[in-house]
Amino acid sequence: MRLRVLLVDDEALARARLRTLLADCNSPQADVLAEAGNAVQAMTALQRDKFDLVLLDIHMPGTDGVTLARNISNLSEPPAVVFVTAHSEHAVQAFDVSATDYLTKPVRLERLQQSLQKVERLVQSGRARTTDTPEETLIIQDRGRTERVPLSEVLYLKAELKYITVRTAVRSYILDGSLSELEEKYPSYFMRVHRNALIARRAVRALEKHFDPEEGDGWAVRLNGIDELLAVSRRQLSAVREVVAS
């Protein structure tokens, strides 16, 4: 098989070297479909095309590689991530975000080939488990266009005036609907943290003390994939604690 690869590194020379090495790999072979110099470009490419593997640098301007890897893991069909960096001390942190492998610069052809073989096994096992069951989605009407947003990509739903903000790791959408109806319809996906907000259970990262100008001292939940904190009401606090603990 041929692996579809996205190269993410802020240094063009580093990307060029990886591209050259990948051209010499033959078991499996790999095709570089796109390159990105930062996290924004990478997420844009991932929304546009389907990849089997992201070769990802850790130290980049703006959003770093570890944070980007967390965002990638929230996609409906996340590709494998292999970190490529000169800083070997970040290996433990890399595997904390479920990276498939970790390569140190300068990358050796033999070591890169081993990583590709790991990814190949993952891709093949994933295809073997694929079923015909369609993934549940939210139907978004946006400027005359209808768009399907997979529930697996949604991080939170927040009621604001007459509409609901649907937040993913990449962007926000506006949905005309009822927060209570979505809570009842998708209890396995979302949980209520406040009277105006539902969060994705799988995205919960941490519970933190938080000061709100309107409500004073309280608690907020941090989600994988975004920096924004969401207030947690006292009524929902114990339920959120259980999700964090689990």
pLDDT at 90 over 70: no
Return mean pLDDT, the chain.
Answer: 87
- pLDDT reported for residue 123: 87
Angstrom CA distances, 94 to 75, 83, 97, stand at 18, 7, 6
Q: Which of 78, 101, 128 is the last residue of a domain?
A: 128
- pLDDT reported for residue 177: 86
Mean pLDDT of 16-42: 95
* Percent of the chain with pLDDT strictly greater than 70: 88
Q: Which of 79, 104, 128 is the last residue of a domain?
A: 128
94 and 37 share one domain: yes
Mean pLDDT of 87-106: 70
- pLDDT reported for residue 91: 52
9 and 123 share one domain: yes
105 and 168 share one domain: no
214 and 190 share one domain: yes
Q: Which residue has the higher pLDDT, 50 or 127?
A: 50
pLDDT at 124 over 70: yes
- Compute the Cα dihedral for 126, 132, 138, 139 and give only its sign: positive
- pLDDT reported for residue 137: 86
- In three-state secondary structure terms, 144 is coil
Domain extent, residue 12, equals 2-128
pLDDT at 109 over 70: yes
- Cα Dmax for the chain: 60
Which CATH number fits the domain that encloses residue 241?
Answer: 2.40.50.1020
141 and 104 share one domain: no
Domain count, the chain: 2
Residue 225 binned pLDDT confidence (cut-offs 50, 70, 90): confident
Q: Which of 109, 128, 147 is the last residue of a domain?
A: 128
Mean pLDDT of 97-101: 77
User: 65: which residues sit within 8 A by CB, 6+ positions away?
Assistant: 8, 56, 57, 58, 59, 83, 85
The per-residue pLDDT for range 166-220, each reduced to its tens digit, is 999 888 999 988 999 999 999 989 999 999 999 999 999 999 998 776 666 889 9
Phi/psi of residue 38, each to 5°? Answer: -160, 180
124 and 6 share one domain: yes
Has this prediction a pTM greater than 0.75?
Answer: no
